[in-house]
Structure 1
Amino acid sequence: MSLETITLVQFDSSIGPAEDGTLERMCAHIRAADVDLIVFPELATTGYSIFDQIEKCAEPIPGPTTRILGQAAAESNTHVLLGMPVQGQNRVHNSAIWIDRQGKVRIQYDKRQLWGDECNVFTPGEDLVVVDCEGLSVGIQICYDLNFPEQAAAFARAEVDLLVNISAWSEPMKGDWDRLLPARAIETGAFVLGCNHAGDEGDLMFYGHSTVYNPDGSVNRRLKNEPDAITWQFEEKLLTQERKRNPMREDRREDGPGIERIQVE
């Protein structure tokens, strides 16, 4: 098997524990997709605005949510990448979970860069994660991670083929979404996939616009702001052509520049 077809689900989660009907809708997407990987946004199982009910929403891994989604993944023979709140030992993480074709949890990436009030609820992660799966190398980010170019540099050094950002990106920050995703594509020399929420949660309006960017930063596929999905096929020829056109991976120096600070009167 190979990781060729990928679906990004621009999902409109309901707020609260996952068993409120959200899981059933996610399973329906998984069973209907007929792809190699299906991707859901940040905190897809509970909605984003759960800070005041985090104790009811966070779950251990494995747990009820991953068992249900894992069963759907196994029945559909697909990998699943999703965001959910994860209960660890005396801490809660905003996490991305990778479930394989057999329904097993294989990866937990904990969001490294927390945004605003997230710092009052979640514990930040430390290490970045790259998934080597069926011939492709996939870097994983969550939302605000996108703003930090040192992550893109690390993924570029890891020579990822894809960089997937699952997000709850808001309407007021839409300009950053539209500029940062293509910048990360150019920096990493990889396809960049941004999977965002749709709809709103009270006063919080999500931007949507889930997008697949080519390695040169141009748009390959893009949604608007309503609940929807993109299905895209990995284009190896395009990736090879862009890396030949822009040989950053070959030219990058690994010694790391120092900084000389000079004061001028």
Structure 2
Amino acid sequence: MVTLELAQIAFIDGDIAGNLAKVVGYIRKAQATSDIIIFPETCFSGFPTHENAPEYSQTLNGNIIQTLEREARAKGIAVLAGICEAQNGAYYNSAVFIDPEKGHIATYRKTHMWLTDQGLFTPGDQFISFDWRGIRIGLLICFDIEFPESGRANALLDADLLLVVNGNMDPYGETHRTAIKARAQENQFFAAFVNRVGQDSFGHQFAGGSCVVDPFGGTLCEAGREEMTLQIQIDPLKRREYQKDYHYLNERALPYQSEIEVDGEYSYLKIQ
């Protein structure tokens, strides 16, 4: 069993210190029974531009990661959050997973570039999954979930639970509500996304609607359009019960050609 806490928040573009402080506050206020608290895409900076990307972005050994590690350890909770990552002169739209004991243990870089990502972020070149407390977790970011291949990649990596950091705005709220249900149903795993609310500096109105769905695509919980947290306990290993009568991955007529690399508790699917 795992208890998720979805932290659907608003934040201020460019206010790195203020947004980090807000995330820290939510970690400290998290329910004592929560195992993982999840925040939206680029939640420390908002979406960057070519002009402000250097100040919006940070390396994976910078202050943001160090702070998340410290707060996760103090609270005894895992943290998943979206960050603008800088490495060797390139920028990535990334999701980082922080374990309360081990610290930063996984990074996923967004593979599908939406309009505001294009020409700014470097696409990630692989999907990942990793073992965490007896379950296998896969990660995606926002626009990724609109592509069936992204969900299928995580199924090939044997994910029990797909976690998505999201930054989806009007008029596309229903698009992601449909997409997360489809990815869960067609790959027979549990899935959750956590979206942003409020407005950004470009005037985008974010759609909220953070939710958790089961392997039939059924909604288990769903947020509205305001700042809020949702807590839910699920058993991701029960996805195997949804595969007793039929198993989409094994019964598909068109096999997915892929190269999966395994390194201990981590699995990677390279994009060809």
Q: Is 1:235 aligned to 2:235, yes or no? A: yes
Task: Give, in angstroms, the shift of residue 241 of structure 1.
Answer: 3.1
Matches within 5 A, 1:164-175: 164-175=163-174
- TM-superposed CA distance for 1:102, in Å, is 2.5
Q: In the alignment, which residue of structure 1 is the partner of 2:56?
A: 57
2:130–2:136 Cα contact (<8 Å) kept? yes
Change (3 A) 1:26 1:189: same
Residue 82 of structure 1 and its aligned partner are, at CA, apart by: 0.4
Structure possessing the higher radius of gyration over alpha carbons: 1
Question: 1:56-84 CA distances to partner (integer Å, 9 max, x unpaired)?
Answer: 11011110111111111000111111001
Deviation at 1:247, TM superposition (A): 2.7
Task: Name the counterpart of 2:145.
Answer: 146
Separation of aligned partners in 2, 1:115 and 1:16:
20
Distance 1:189 1:136, change over 3 A: same
Measure, in 1, the Cα distance between the counterparts of 2:76 and 2:177: 33
Q: CA deviation at 1:170?
A: 0.8
- After superposing the two structures, state which structure 1 stretch, 22-31 or 89-98, moved more: 22-31
- Aligned-partner residue type, residue 141 of structure 1: L
Counterpart of 1:43 in structure 2 is 42
Q: Does 1:77 align with 2:76?
A: yes
SS in 2 for 1:225: coil
Write out per-residue CA displacement over residues 225-255 of structure 1, whole angstroms, 9 at most, x where no aligned residue.
1011111112357534322244324434674
SS in 2 for 1:116: coil
Aligned equivalent of 2:184: 185
Counterpart in the other structure of 2:96: 97
Number of residue pairs matched by the alignment:
254
Contact between 2:82 and 2:94, CA under 8 Å: does it hold in 1?
yes
Letter in 2 for 1:121: L
Gaps of 5+ in 2: 258-272
Structure holding more helix per residue: 1
CA distance in 2, matches of 1:237, 1:85: 32
Pairwise CA distance, 1:187: 1.3
Question: What CA distance in whole angstroms lies between the structure 2 residues aligned with 1:98 and 1:235?
Answer: 19
13, 16, 29: which is aligned to 1:15? 13
CA apart distance, 1:128:
0.5
Deviates more, 1:95-104 or 1:44-53: 44-53
Hey, what's the Cα distance between the residues in 2 that align with 1:254 and 1:218? Answer: 26
Determine if contact 2:78/2:100 at 8 Å carries over to the other structure.
yes
3-state DSSP of counterpart to 2:118: helix
Q: Distance in 2 between matches of 1:28 and 1:255?
A: 46
Q: Which amino acid aligns with 1:23?
A: L
- The one of 32, 35, 60 equivalent to 2:29 is 32
Is the 1:16–1:50 Cα contact (8 Å) retained in structure 2?
no
In 1: Cα distance, 2:189 partner to 2:116 partner: 31
- Give yes or no for contact 1:96–1:110 (8 Å, CA) kept in 2: yes
Structure 1 unaligned blocks of 5 or more = 258-265
CA distance in 2, matches of 1:175, 1:131: 29
Alpha-carbon spacing, 1:212–1:36, altered in 2? closer, same or farther (3 Å): same
Q: Report the CA distance shift for 1:64/1:248 in structure 2 as closer, same or farther (over 3 A).
A: same
Distance 1:17 1:60 in 2: 17
TM-score (norm 1): 0.90
CA contact (8 A) 1:73 1:103 kept: no
Structure 1 counterpart of 2:3: 5
Q: Which aligned pairs between 1:245-260 and structure 2 lie closer than 5 A?
A: 245-252=245-252, 255-256=255-256
* Cα distance, 1:148 vs structure 2: 1.3
Residue 260 (structure 1) aligns with = none
Alignment of 1:87-166 (within 5 A): 87-102=86-101, 104-166=103-165
Q: Match for 1:5: what amino acid?
A: T
Cα displacement (A) at 1:175: 2.4
Tell me the C-alpha RMSD between the 2 structures: 1.9
Higher mean C-alpha displacement, 193-202 vs 209-218:
193-202
